[in-house]
Structure 1
Amino acid sequence: MDSVNPLNILKLLQSDYEQHFQLCDSPSEFDRMLKTIIKDFLDVQIDLAGSPISAIEEDLA
């Protein structure tokens, strides 16, 4: 599994959405909830990428 760099994802999202949204806008409650979901997902992906178990599974495949 390739590693995930959360900062690269943020850069890509920013370039896609900066014409519609401003950084000075205050985050809504939904923004905060979505941030938590995305952060949890990325944390799992990062943990899996660095896990010795996933390396063993890749070797077996």
Structure 2
Amino acid sequence: MDSVNPLNILKLLEMDYEQDFQPNDSPSDHDKLLKALIKDFLDIHINQAGSPILARSSL
């Protein structure tokens, strides 16, 4: 599997959602909670796999 660049994924998501949500909007409490959950999920997978590339391919 080719490696995935998370920043490219974020750019693609931004293009999809920028019509409904503005980047200048302040993050809500729900946004911050979701960020923490995603970060924890990715950290666990990266630590278990031993590398970001393996972690991404196991998602």
Where 1:21 maps in the other structure, the secondary structure is coil
Are positions 1:22 and 2:22 aligned together? Answer: yes
Structure number with greater Rg is 1
Where 2:37 maps in the other structure, the secondary structure is helix
Instruction: Among all aligned residue pairs of Structure 1 and Structure 2, give the percentage whose two residues are the same amino acid.
Output: 63
After superposition, the CA RMSD in angstroms is 2.6
Q: Count residues with an aligned counterpart.
A: 52
Are positions 1:12 and 2:8 aligned together? Answer: no
TM-score w.r.t. the length of structure 1 is 0.61
| Greater relative contact order (Cα < 8 A, sep 6+) | 1
Aligned-residue offset at 1:11: 1.1
Query: What residue number does 1:50 align with?
Result: 51
TM-score w.r.t. the length of structure 2 is 0.63
**Given the superposition, is the C-alpha separation of residues 17 and 9 from structure 1 closer, same or farther in structure 2, using an over 3 Å criterion?**
same
Query: What residue number does 2:40 align with?
Result: 40
Q: 1:5 is matched by which residue type in structure 2? A: N
Residue ranges of structure 2 left out of the alignment (5+ in a row):
55-59
